[in-house]
Chain A
Amino acid sequence: MRGAMHARWAACAVAVALAATACGSGDSGSSDAGAVLSASWGDPQKPLEPANTNEVQGGKVLDMIFRGLKRYDPETGEAKDMLAEKIETSDSQTFTITIKDGWTFSDGEKVTARSFVDAWNYGASLKNHQRNSYFFRYIEGYDKVHPEDGGKQSADTLSGLEVVDDRTFTVELTQKFSSFPDTLGYNAFAPLPRAFFDDHDAWVKKPIGNGPYLVDSYTRGSQMDLRTWADYPGPDTARNGGVDLKVYTDNNTAYTDLMAGNLDLVDDVPAAQLKNVRNDLGDRYLNSPAGILQTLAFPYYDDAWNKPGAEKVRKGLSMAIDRKQITDTIFHKTRTPATDWTSPVLGEDGGFRDGLCGESCAYKPDKAKKLIEEGGGLPGGRVTITFNADTGSHREWVNAVCNSINNALDDERACTANPVGTFADFRNRITGHKMSGPFRAGWQMDYPLIQNFLQPLYYTNASSNDGKWSDKEFDGLVDRANQETDTAKAVALFQQAQEVVRDHMAAIPLWYQNGSAGWSERLSAVKLNPFSVPVYEQIKVS
């Protein structure tokens, strides 16, 4: 499959907003269903159009105000039907989707098949400049709606989408894609009300969705107030009165506010406080595995990193990084050294393979030095790791990685850290191909499939293949895996593809990241989903 899913780049430990539903376990307490909690947040990059939001913070809100066909279980990450009554296919290429009765948007409009088809057509259309438009690129007719070669748009709607009746529509893909239904929980596939199209400006100011929360007010750079929608028809009704999302530009400040009682929930505990967090919060702290992998990616558009022998240099760099020491000391074991290019949250059946990287991901300073010398040495004798300094605790670990490399190579100035002020600027430089050495790449899965960890990142010209890595063998294996209808066989093919990534060390895997959260005494039942986003609707406030 040529089309690549786009995953969100994790700005830090915070994660995507694919929070999931879990319907009431019926426990009771002294909680107040009308009480509002406050939580840490960051401004979204774009207005909250579902097909235009591919970053963590905007996604968080979309997840509270929208419900899609599928929903990822907050415990397991498994894609379960939400608005979808059934999704049927006989050939993995043509799908018939039936939606449940009784769903409405918060303005009273019924959610129909038309709500989905219109939303997807809007998201795919070139003239709407939606960032997630490539999500629709394997739907028949995408090449006319969104020509990728710079040509003119010759159609407004995707010919592969057809409304059958109020509750049924069909999707025709250009090729087989067996796990297509599992991708439909991603926010790009959310339904949209007529109000979105009729009065777009008003909608953008105050989005209308079909989720358990309503947007009450939003002041950019400061706060967004969300309130529970009393008439929410879905099963996952919010157990609190609402959430006030407060904007922080530094996770240390948010943590301090939590300690001072000015904030109820932080979903990114700063690395520097990990040593104290148990003391400070006791059992009001959570650290759980999430589908995030930190890697160092390389600019293959730079010949220095793309010449024969460069893979030896990359392997040498990988072996010069003492992952265990860094995860133990900097992250207090809230990260796990990576030994493959996926994530443990996939499970063995889902394609995670512990130890796949083998020796290349082990700390072997002597061999690292030898390999780098065999590969012709570091380009220019130096390597610079670029990262964004505004979020998470990237500065700490990039410095530690550099020190580790310098110690292994016996050269104090072999590696230097190159901070970029903001995440947005960092991403702009990456997509502008301005990197001259390895750069931080934090991959946050969009949905828990091994395909999402490989194809978007390493397939030729894929949407998030920022380093422009290209390998025919890898591409061939991914194509075969996508067409495979048997899940186990598909996973096996993806793992073979992953071995190709390993043999070339296309990117250096660093560690599997956990999600973390800390909360005040007012809250209970705080959970993180496998994407490391708090499951807001389940939180109880007393």
Chain B
Amino acid sequence: MSDRHYEPEPALAATAVGGTVDLGVEEAETPKKRPAGPDGPAPQDRPRSLWSDAWRDLRRNPVFIVSGLVILFLVLIALWPSAIASRSPLDCDLSKAQEGSQAGHPFGFDGQGCDVYTRTVHGARTSVAVGVLATLGVAVLGSVLGALAGFFGGIWDSILSRITDVFFAIPVVLGGLVLLSVITSDTVWPVIGFIVLLGWPQLSRIARGAVITAKQHDYVQAARALGASNSRLMLRHIAPNAVAPVIVVATISLGTYIALEATLSYLGVGLKPPSVSWGIDISAASPYVRNAPHALLWPSGALAITVLAFIMLGDAVRDALDPKLR
């Protein structure tokens, strides 16, 4: 996967080598990408970096704009849920159980008489928190381990590769049921820890592949010949050229981690009440679907939109960082 995704030196690709293949593809599929503008002509004179190139693509990509706005909104309500839902998600009145939409309660009530709107809004916090923190953990742990293995190679590389094989063999949901069912904490940390534990091998493989490709390049060999230390080689020459695929995969994974959290919570081993989570609400509402479908549909819809937004964002970022795939 890493090899296919990875384009080692976009700067070079855009200038010297990049002539035939890339130009052909871009002209055929995205003619709008080559406008006559201030930075349009003479790319040979002023090579753009991978990042400014990607940003230029992203700004014009409607998929990125829509998913970005959705995510921005999600992050805002995750930070300040009470701005749009002032009640407490734990404030439930059983006498209103399963009632539909009414004044002040646009989404109606669930089987316990809790306000579905309030719970759906507050559920964004856990989902975003789990998604972002787990992705950070996975990205940091996975890319550091993967980069070290790829850079130094040898025995450590073999050991790490076998370890990742072991982790890849663990079925995610089954592993979650086994590991998380023994933990009684009602915070988000066990779930985040579990996702990091099972998620890092994927990132470490990608980082390893990217580093191995990058370190074979002439400029790295040259820097090494000039006496650059390992840390300088890694940080200055290899990392900037190996980080793109890591970012792409991490962004796409973020959405799947949110879905995984909901899955685990649905199964009763992820977050536990009184935590508020879409997975918990979906699980609680599913037996009542015939009588109170709204209690199921709102949190499910929120979950679907959130996961979709992150996956679409990841797609857009991948397209921008790896034009060859288009």
Q: Is B46 an interface residue (CB 8 A)?
A: no
Interface string of B110-122 (1 = CB under 8 A from A): 0111100000000
- Point out the residues of chain B lying under 8 angstroms from A396, CB to CB: 111-112, 284
Instruction: Sort chain B's interface into a size bin.
Output: 20 to 34
Cα–Cα distance between A270 and B291 once the two chains are bound (Å)? 13
Given contacts A400-B112, A421-B181, A421-B268, contact A275 B291 (CB under 8 A): yes
Contact (Cβ within 8 A) A252 B287:
yes
- Point out the residues of chain A lying under 8 angstroms from B101, CB to CB: none
Chain B residues numbered 254-272 whose CB sits less than 8 Å from any CB in chain A: 268-269, 272
Chain A residues numbered 229-280 whose CB sits less than 8 Å from any CB in chain B: 252, 270-273, 275-276
CB-nearest residue of chain A to B288: A272
Contact (Cβ within 8 A) B88 A272:
no
Interface string of A312-334 (1 = CB under 8 A from B): 00000000001001100110000
- Smallest distance from the beta carbon of B5 to chain A beta carbons, Å? 40
Contact (Cβ within 8 A) B273 A399:
yes
- Point out the residues of chain B lying under 8 angstroms from A418, CB to CB: 184, 272
- Point out the residues of chain A lying under 8 angstroms from B111, CB to CB: 272, 330, 396
Cα–Cα distance between A275 and B284 once the two chains are bound (Å)? 16
Cα–Cα distance between A56 and B79 once the two chains are bound (Å)? 49
Instruction: Sort chain A's interface into a size bin.
Output: 20 to 34
- Point out the residues of chain B lying under 8 angstroms from A329, CB to CB: 94-95, 97, 113
Q: Is B186 an interface residue (CB 8 A)?
A: yes
- Point out the residues of chain A lying under 8 angstroms from B274, CB to CB: 412-413, 416
Q: Is A417 an interface residue (CB 8 A)?
A: yes
- Point out the residues of chain B lying under 8 angstroms from A270, CB to CB: 287
- Point out the residues of chain B lying under 8 angstroms from A419, CB to CB: 268, 272
Q: Which of A389, A393, A412, A416 is B186 in contact with, Cβ under 8 Å?
A: A416
Interface string of A402-422 (1 = CB under 8 A from B): 011011000011001111010
- Smallest distance from the beta carbon of A404 to chain B beta carbons, Å? 7
- Point out the residues of chain B lying under 8 angstroms from A330, CB to CB: 94, 97, 111
Contact (Cβ within 8 A) A413 B291:
no
Contact (Cβ within 8 A) B268 A389:
yes
CB-nearest residue of chain B to A425: B181
- Smallest distance from the beta carbon of B2 to chain A beta carbons, Å? 38
Q: Is A353 an interface residue (CB 8 A)?
A: no
Chain A residues numbered 368-410 whose CB sits less than 8 Å from any CB in chain B: 389, 393, 395-396, 399-400, 403-404, 406-407
CB-nearest residue of chain A to B186: A416
Contact (Cβ within 8 A) B94 A322:
yes
- Point out the residues of chain A lying under 8 angstroms from B291, CB to CB: 272, 275-276
A residues lining the B interface (CB < 8 Å): 252, 270-273, 275-276, 322, 325-326, 329-330, 389, 393, 395-396, 399-400, 403-404, 406-407, 412-413, 416-419, 421
Contact sample, A vs B, 21 pairs, CB 8 Å cutoff: A270-B287, A271-B287, A272-B288, A273-B290, A276-B291, A325-B95, A330-B94, A330-B111, A389-B268, A399-B112, A400-B94, A400-B112, A407-B92, A412-B91, A412-B274, A416-B274, A417-B273, A418-B272, A419-B268, A419-B272, A421-B268
B residues lining the A interface (CB < 8 Å): 88, 90-95, 97, 111-114, 181, 184, 186, 268-269, 272-274, 284, 287-288, 290-291
State the 3 A-B residue pairs at the shortest beta-carbon distance, nearest first: A272-B287, A412-B90, A403-B92
